[in-house]
């Protein structure tokens, strides 16, 4: 059976009881190395690019259109998500979680919230383009900047709410890699099948 000490869960190498998740992201040396390289490229290319977009809009565009507002928020969401990759680069490089249980929950919460924000903002941009094509004469009345600002605020509140499962169903636990070495991993803590079902349904709904 699994033993819990504080907020850290210890799972024996051959145990099938406890956390329902399979292998952790640091259980394979090759995948962790490749993942760290990919995230490193994402950080080096994505962070400066999104910061440049945010700076360009805030500093050089005085009269911002609806599209500009959506692009600004999308760049903020993507930029923050890519800034957070530095923690996961360290995680994959060291192949153990060194940031504690609170950071485990908060980092994945922020990652999911910004990922959902990116998806919803791209959806809003698509809807705005559709309205512009289908109802061009009524675009200014249906989609004003005031309405868009309110929708954007509601979008950020919504993604912060639907990312809450990351705070509840994620913990630091001990795991064993393919060489039976013990490592700390920040992984989903789905102790019941219903928890897995709730988590997967939430992700599917957000991606539809």
Amino acid 90: pLDDT: 94
Q: Which CATH number fits domain 26-207: 1.20.1070.10, 3.30.750.24, 3.40.50.1820, 1.10.10.1100?
A: 1.20.1070.10
Give CA–CA dist 5/2, Å, rounded: 10
Residue 11 has pLDDT above 80, yes or no: no
| Per-domain residue ranges of the chain | 26-207
Give residue for tokens 């698509």: 126
* Dihedral sign (CA 36, 42, 44, 47): negative
Q: What is the DSSP string of 154-181?
A: HHHHHHHHHTTHHHHSEEEEEEE-TT--
Q: Give every CB contact of residue 95 below 8 A, 6+ residues apart in sequence.
A: 26, 29, 32, 177, 183
Residues 129-134, mean pLDDT to the nearest whole number: 86
Amino acid 121: pLDDT: 95
Q: What is the pLDDT of residues 148-187, one digit of tens each?
A: 899 999 999 999 999 998 888 888 888 776 677 778 888 8
**Using an 8 Å Cβ cutoff, are 153 and 99 in contact?**
no
Q: What is the pLDDT of residues 16-51, one digit of tens each?
A: 434 444 456 666 778 888 999 999 999 999 999 999
Question: Which of these ranges, 51-55, 176-180, 193-197, has the smallest mean pLDDT?
Answer: 193-197
Amino acid 16: pLDDT: 40
3-state SS, residue 65: coil
Amino acid 21: pLDDT: 45
**Using an 8 Å Cβ cutoff, are 175 and 24 in contact?**
yes
**Using an 8 Å Cβ cutoff, are 185 and 97 in contact?**
yes
Q: What is the CA radius of gyration of the chain?
A: 21
pTM confidence score: 0.78
């Amino acid at each position: 059976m699994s033993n819990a000490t504080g907020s850290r869960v210890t799972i024996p190498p051959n145990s099938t009881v406890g956390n329902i998740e399979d292998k952790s992201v640091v259980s394979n040396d090759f995948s962790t190395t490749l993942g760290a390289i990919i995230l490193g490229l994402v950080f080096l290319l994505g962070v400066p690019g999104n910061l440049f977009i945010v700076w360009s809009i805030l500093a050089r565009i005085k009269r911002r259109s609806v599209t500009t507002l959506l692009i600004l928020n999308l760049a903020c969401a993507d930029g923050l998500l890519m800034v957070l990759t530095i923690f996961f680069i360290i995680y994959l490089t060291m192949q153990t979680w060194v940031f504690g249980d609170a950071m485990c929950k908060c980092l994945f919460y922020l990652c999911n919230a910004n990922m959902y924000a990116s998806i919803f903002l791209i959806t809003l941009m698509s809807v705005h383009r559709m309205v512009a094509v289908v109802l061009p004469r009524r675009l200014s009345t249906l989609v004003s900047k005031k309405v868009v600002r309110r929708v954007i605020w509601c979008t950020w509140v919504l993604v912060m709410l639907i990312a809450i499962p990351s705070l509840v169903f994620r913990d630091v636990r001990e795991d064993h890699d393919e060489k039976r070495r013990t490592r700390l991993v920040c992984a989903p803590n789905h102790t019941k099948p219903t928890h897995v079902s709730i988590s997967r349904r939430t992700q599917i709904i957000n991606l539809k």
